Structure 1
């Protein structure tokens, strides 16, 4: 039968723990290892994982936690055991410390796991590491202010997973293939315009209106994401089940084949709205898309702004300046 210690014996045992057990031993037993790269002669850092470390001081007799703001963040080896085991009583700490009497530090060092970061130009990596713009953010302000896009159309793009915010207020618009895989982003901002695909080539941005499950009766194709969103804003027939796509400029052969396949998803006898700029490039795009629509049994219709060399976002901006409702 265990004998009960007197208060004097208890204090003597606690002092024995402080004198004979190094904080390093306690940390090693808990899975921490010496991080040489972030240690000095006076302060030795022991790390378990990134963001979880303890500083050992006074030659192993003391410690402190650089991450925790709670009241007990430093002390002796006894405090350390209780800190590492929240809720542990002093009696429980004594039981644990008795097991460590006579142990010495192993000297094992912390080795950081190699970073497995994907190449920065991988569009999926870039996309997944960015957040959607929100009211008041730089990209949101650029799109609603400079570009005059209403908030409801940005909400729709965010809801359909088509919009992210990049650096310096740049808006990123997602392009995907017919299988739904992200292939790249149109990038538009106050100081930048481009496309990032990581070498995979352009495909199409796709935004749907009307009933989600309904087969589209219209396919609306434009030259850029901002022009397409502008046209949706101005379109009196956007309530119809429609698929709006942006090519992000000229289409690659792979994108053209995907567009041809996409025409087959439109309701038989439906329309293909070619909403391109009023310029020579718009004429060339019409000459490509209209025959493809006819081959698919659909009716091609071209819609361009009345003013020469104008695009649909310019129309939207002019209406916003004049206070004319879309």
Structure 2
């Protein structure tokens, strides 16, 4: 087949069609206009470049529609051509994405775009989203704002900064009631909340979950709460290696309680084993830490309502907030000594 025919074939068949035909399903909740996440069990493929490119966040594999067919089926290029040709005319399901406001202007740097946005303030739309819908305590949100980690996004969404080892803004996670994504042109490294010199390093998949665990633990002393933003780039791995090579470092995987969270945790455990630091897996009692926080706050509110209906009722003494059981993995499974997630 001539190169011109190969290019024409590539333009007629998108990666989404290949994945849906192979049994993958679109995860609309975790997808954006620029990156569509497809799942099949614990396998994940991210489709980019308007359907013409892809990458496997659990490995270094990426490419075009032909390499995707080869990746999924372990076949040669000639077989790939035949399988792609058979998909001409197949139309995958196409979600409609709402365009976010505040598209970046040409030539504006990541740092300039970040500085252009206001910090959240009491009563702002982002404040209401974080403290209301997400149930983060106001004092924690204020602390994150003071650390320069948060900005007001469009339509009441939140921007959570990713920084490198020198504190330089490389991008930000975007989360809102109707929007989720990452900064256009930005790079995922690490969202950071807590004391920079901490030896206990907790790594979550999203900034919301990192801050939710901090709320549940009462912002534990000596702990740095991190988020990879759902990625594992070389920059992310390098940044984590710097942190976990500190004396007495402990790497704690606080990833989601699902197959993707297990994959992240396995990657973190491998890193801990590589550098020889202490390791621990801390599972949320719900699907993720923010859901666990919301459930806890809901139960707390229900108890308060019940107490108001009982005369002279005394509230039980409250100790330090702790995650609901089960939190730690069973002994001998994912907890250990010197022994801890995805590739963009």
TM-score by length of 2: 0.55
Equivalent of 1:208 in 191, 194, 212: 194
Distance 2:220 2:228 in 1: 22
Distance 1:242 1:306 in 2: 20
Tell me the alpha carbon deviations over residues 264-304 of structure 1, each in whole angstroms, 9 at most, x when there is no partner: 2x3x2331111010000111111111121122221110111
Residue 223 (1) aligns with residue 210 (2): no
Question: RCO greater where, 1 or 2, for CA within 8 Å and sep 6 or more?
Answer: 2
Equivalent of 1:153 in 92, 116, 140: 140
**Which of 1 and 2 has greater Rg?**
1
- Within 5 A, what are the aligned runs for 1:15-54? none
> Equivalent residue for 2:225?
244
Residue 141 (1) aligns with residue 128 (2): yes
> Equivalent residue for 2:119?
132
SS of the residue corresponding to residue 144 of structure 1 reads: helix
Equivalent of 2:215 in 204, 215, 233: 233
Equivalent of 2:158 in 163, 168, 171: 171
Residue segments in structure 1 that go unaligned for 5+ positions in a row: 1-116
Residue 314 (1) aligns with residue 296 (2): no
User: Number of aligned pairs?
Assistant: 200
Equivalent of 1:280 in 229, 243, 259: 259
Distance 1:245 1:149 in 2: 16
SS of the residue corresponding to residue 206 of structure 1 reads: strand
1:269 touches 1:297 (CA, 8 Å); kept in 2?
Answer: no
1:120 touches 1:126 (CA, 8 Å); kept in 2?
Answer: no
Residue segments in structure 2 that go unaligned for 5+ positions in a row: 1-103, 302-317, 322-344
> Equivalent residue for 2:168?
181
- Within 5 A, what are the aligned runs for 1:51-66? none
Distance 2:164 2:184 in 1: 12
Question: How far is the alpha carbon of 1:197 from its aligned partner?
Answer: 4.5
Equivalent of 2:273 in 294, 298, 305: 294
Tell me the alpha carbon deviations over residues 99-148 of structure 1, each in whole angstroms, 9 at most, x when there is no partner: xxxxxxxxxxxxxxxxxx96376321211111111111101001111100
> Equivalent residue for 2:110?
123
Tell me the alpha carbon deviations over residues 240-280 of structure 1, each in whole angstroms, 9 at most, x when there is no partner: 2221111010211222122222222x3x2331111010000
Residues 120 and 152 from structure 1, CA distance in 2 versus in 1: closer, same or farther, beyond 3 angstroms?
Answer: farther
> Equivalent residue for 1:102?
none
Question: How far is the alpha carbon of 1:207 from its aligned partner?
Answer: 1.3
2:193 touches 2:224 (CA, 8 Å); kept in 1?
Answer: yes
1:263 touches 1:296 (CA, 8 Å); kept in 2?
Answer: yes
Distance 1:165 1:135 in 2: 12
SS of the residue corresponding to residue 212 of structure 2 reads: helix
2:214 touches 2:220 (CA, 8 Å); kept in 1?
Answer: no
1:132 touches 1:158 (CA, 8 Å); kept in 2?
Answer: yes
SS of the residue corresponding to residue 313 of structure 1 reads: helix
Tell me the alpha carbon deviations over residues 57-93 of structure 1, each in whole angstroms, 9 at most, x when there is no partner: xxxxxxxxxxxxxxxxxxxxxxxxxxxxxxxxxxxxx
What's the C-alpha RMSD, in Å, of the aligned pairs? Answer: 2.0
Distance 1:301 1:295 in 2: 15
> Equivalent residue for 1:94?
none
